[in-house]
Amino acid sequence: MADLTGKTALITGSVQGIGLSVAEEMAGAGARIAVHGLAGDAQIEEVCTRLKGLGAPQAEFFHGDLRDPAQITHLMQAVADWGGADILVNNAGIQHTAPLSDMPHETWEAIIAVNLSAAFYTMQAALPVMAERGYGRVINIASVQGLIGSVNKAPYVAAKHGIVGLSKVAALEYAAVGSRESGGVTVNCICPGWTETTLIGPQIDARAQEIGDDRDAAVADLLKEKQPSLRLSDPAEIGALALWLCDPLAHNVTGTAIPVDGGWTTQ
């Protein structure tokens, strides 16, 4: 396990789901956690308390609407004043399904802003500081939709393809920074397939009712068209991969888009 003692990780969308699991793994490795997301005061307090209980020496919440570049600038400055991000995980995202011909313009703009443009702005602020330190990690949560197409998801697929391309450019620009000993500066994407989060719970329940069977059978039936393993990933598995990418031994793993998809994109 990577030792992140003395490191600070900013994880967008880290109050639930995959983002929270990434935060938990990094807290367990000793990182300070800059928490971000959409949540009320009670949830924020609960998350920060949990992360400190897992081993984070500090866990604080930072506000910032990712649709607004000015707020992102404020967010990144606040984190810089807190010590700066050695690790940046762009996890926050929004989704809306509709045919391309019916996709509202404002929905396109919002999804591109949160899922792609926000990552550009956070990376633009964080990477030069990482380069000065000789160590830095950017991990962008891209989804299998960054590697394939899917109907009724034009802005989401466009944004996720875009973040894979953006990550490749940044990886090349910072590839020679640092050393094996310092860990270098790397930029990678993780591309999850079907993952066990609260967002897919209703889909599983609906499929179970539809086929008249138990939850495991419903999951297999739901996944059979896409994910050959017929198994969901646990968010903690994504967190564990993110943590491994932070280890200095991963200094030469950069510019990748790593699927965690049970063989989905292999087909």
Q: Could you tell me if 261 and 191 are in contact, meaning their C-beta atoms sit under 8 angstroms apart?
A: yes
pLDDT tens digits along 228-257: 999 999 999 999 999 999 999 999 999 999
Q: Is 196 helix (H, G, I), strand (E, B) or coil?
A: coil
Look at residues 34, 31, 35, 27 and name the one whose alpha carbon lies nearest to residue 54: 27
Written as one letter, the residue type at 144 is V
- pTM of the entire structure? 0.95
Catalytic, out of 121, 135, 156, 174: 156
DSSP symbol at 233? B
DSSP symbol at 178? S
CATH second-level architecture of 8-193+234-259?
3-Layer(aba) Sandwich (3.40)
Q: Report the alpha-carbon distance of residue 242 to residue 137 in Å, rounded.
A: 10
DSSP symbol at 98? -
Whether 121 sits among the annotated catalytic residues: the reply is no
- The angle formed by the CA atoms of residues 204, 142 and 223, to the nearest 5 degrees, is 25
Tens digit of each residue's pLDDT, the chain (267 residues)? 789 999 999 999 999 999 999 999 999 999 999 999 999 999 999 999 999 999 999 999 999 999 999 999 999 999 999 999 999 999 999 999 999 999 999 999 999 999 999 999 999 999 999 999 999 999 999 999 999 999 999 999 999 999 999 999 999 999 999 999 999 999 999 999 999 987 788 888 889 999 988 899 999 998 998 999 999 999 999 999 999 999 999 999 999 999 999 999 999
Both tokens of 25, joined, read 């793994």
pLDDT tens digits along 126-173: 999 999 999 999 999 999 999 999 999 999 999 999 999 999 999 999
The DSSP secondary structure of 166-205, one letter per residue, reads HHHHHHHHHTTSS-TTT-EEEEEEEEE-SB--TTTHHHHH
Residues 6+ positions from 141 with CB-CB distance below 8 Å: 18, 19, 89, 90, 91, 93, 189, 190, 192, 238
Map out the domains of the chain as residue ranges.
8-193+234-259, 198-232
Per the DSSP assignment, residues forming a β-bridge with 136 are 185
